[in-house]
Amino acid sequence: MKTRGFNSDDVHRCCTGKLKVVFRSRKHHNGWFRVDGKKVCRITIPMGHKPLPEKTFVSMATQLLLSRDEMASLVECTITRDAYTQMVRERKPVA
């Protein structure tokens, strides 16, 4: 599993394509992941195309209620949207 070298575009593509997150842009890109119509997780993606720094990548994973390795799996598409939604349900009360 690739644990380093993801860039903003990789994460952005994953969030928009797989998680159906709609982003807005200010200094960074921001978007919400919804479960049952509720906004559950807010992901922040820095601008730019360089590889994301390690601590920043972990912070982004934390925003999505994931560990760094889980986040890497999500971006690499080994975690599906349904699987991710189930993980979120287990980690945070949605109702």
Partner 1 sequence: MQTRVQCDGVGDTDAVAKLPVWFMTDAVASAVTEAAPVRYSRGLLDGDKCASSTTSIGVIHMVPQVLQVPINRLVTYSLRKPIACMVEPDDDEWLAQVPDIPQVFGLGKTTTLAVQALMDEIESLYDDLLESDDFTPDWLALRSYLKGIIEPR
> Any contact of residue 7 with partner 1 (CB under 8 A)?
no
* Exposure class string for 2-19: b at 16+ Cβ within 10 A, else e: eeeebbbebbbebbeeeb
Q: Which residues pair with 28 in a beta bridge?
A: 46
Locus of tokens 């593509």: 13
Region of 9-17, 34-42, 74-82 interacting with partner 1 (CB under 8 A):
34-42
CB of 78 to partner 1, least distance (A): 25
Binding site for partner 1 (CB under 8 A): 24, 26-28, 30, 32, 37-40, 42, 44, 46, 53-56, 59, 62-63, 92-94
